[in-house]
Amino acid sequence: MINAITTEEKIKKAALKEFALYGFEGGRIDRIARKAGVNKAMIYYHFKSKESLYEFILSTMYNMIVQRVMNKIPKDKDPHEQLETIISEFIGFIKDLDQDFVKMMLREISSGGKYFKKLMVPKVILPMLNIVQDIFAAGIKRGMFGNVIPQITFLQIMGSIVFSNAVRITLADTDIGKVLFPGDFFDKFRENLLTILKTGILAQ
């Protein structure tokens, strides 16, 4: 028997779509209510304000990153394998992520990033940066990595993944998008990025 979608799930799904289209400032509770098939009072029963609903949606994303990426880093592997795991899992996460999350995050950042700084930075960015710095420090000490700057390398790696996916979504309905982003794009992207890292940051 298939479980029915709960009212809260309907609200969250409708809210994600609304914030992806309009951002926090442009998002409207009445439209979310219509999309979810509930009244506004029901939304405020589950979430005390538009802000708390918005923050809940963002927290869903960082919880997924923690579960999919940060909790998968093998502590018993060498720094090179740990870094490859982070990259592979993050690419897999981005590949499977609902596109509305990406659109919502892009709108959040372009509007000043108030909630990105409040939620994503302390919950994801800083912890991930600390992990990567430790991995690079261990790799450099063991002679596995060249003398690169960990935080910049981290931004370049993660930034390239996020930006490429944002472009993929934007160009999805264009001819050039079909050329640049074939069905196996993420597999090829992962393979190519790991090749670049092996020739660019590993000690020769």
- Domains identified in the chain, total number: 1
Q: For 79-86, what is the mean pLDDT?
A: 94
- Would residue 51 count as lying in a domain? no
- Would residue 12 count as lying in a domain? no
pLDDT given for residue 1 in this prediction: 39
The CATH number for 178's domain is: 1.10.357.10
- Would residue 115 count as lying in a domain? yes
Compute the distance between CA of residue 123 and CA of residue 117 in angstroms, rounded to an integer. 10
- Would residue 145 count as lying in a domain? yes
- Would residue 3 count as lying in a domain? no
Task: Tell me if residue 30 falls in helix, strand or coil.
Answer: helix
Q: What is the DSSP string of 31-94?
A: HHHHHHTS-HHHHHHH-SSHHHHHHHHHHHHHHHHHHHTGGG--TTS-HHHHHHHHHHHHHHHH
Q: Which pTM does this prediction carry?
A: 0.87
Give the domain extent around 178.
57-200
The predicted-structure confidence for 21-78, as pLDDT tens digits, reads as follows: 999 999 999 999 999 999 999 999 999 999 999 999 999 988 999 889 988 999 999 9
- Would residue 52 count as lying in a domain? no
- Would residue 152 count as lying in a domain? yes
Q: For 95-123, what is the mean pLDDT?
A: 94
Question: Is the pLDDT at 160 greater than 70, yes or no?
Answer: yes
- Would residue 74 count as lying in a domain? yes
